[in-house]
Structure 1
């Protein structure tokens, strides 16, 4: 009876050892599968982390570019406004200058011929105006005397003299 119990126990021990080996083998397979899944998930997590870092850098760069674009737009707008203001001032000044020139021309009644005589000396070039009278600052010409000369400026920057000769400035 003891021998038979001993055989039964040995049979059970063998079955338990086989079951234990099978459980260990299944545990190792499960561990390998779980480890492989964990490794894949970890690699995917690292890839996603790298993608996130790259996207964050791109976002930061785009934000800087947008801020720069806004600043450039502001500077452009300010420059454009300055240009328009300067253009208006130039137009106003030109109109005022033309008005003043027309008023001066209306005040003058006679043209006085002032021929231009060009003389050249070695190393120098001078233009002399003959027939002109110069006054010191603050003095006035005699009331009976007509104006010394009259000039009209055109877009090609020349002086129209009464004799028909144009002296270029």
Structure 2
């Protein structure tokens, strides 16, 4: 699929699956003296995740990292299916699809590094942030113009929801 034909698949997406480090974060960690590792997440990505969940999209996180703060943040956005410490992500991917009776062709997956490639090869729409590794870019149907932790997640969720007429811009009625 060429880089523009990815748009044909936006209408078919029912499920979003995202990696965390390098996708929902910028891929850096601040290591505290007690050994804790702090990550930063983009609030606009969070808004898009919550909006997609509220609109009825299935949402899953599969990450090699494991951090209680990350889990709490994602749960606070309404995401129930969170697989942390996943080193062979394809196992959790198959488990999630089977458990929820999801066809892989209806899944959008966004990853940024080598461990994401096996899953990316199985989904209907493989995506990555602008600053993903060259190998992941070569596997992706869509490369966001935004970096990891800098709006790449919002970018692709918003595109899908707009094509499906589910991105509600009637903010006055929603937030009065």
Q: Which has the higher strand share?
A: 2
TM-score of the two chains, using structure 1 as the length reference: 0.22
Larger RCO, structures 1/2 (Cα 8 Å, 6+ apart): 2
Q: Which has the higher helix share?
A: 1
TM-score of the two chains, using structure 2 as the length reference: 0.21
Larger radius of gyration: 1
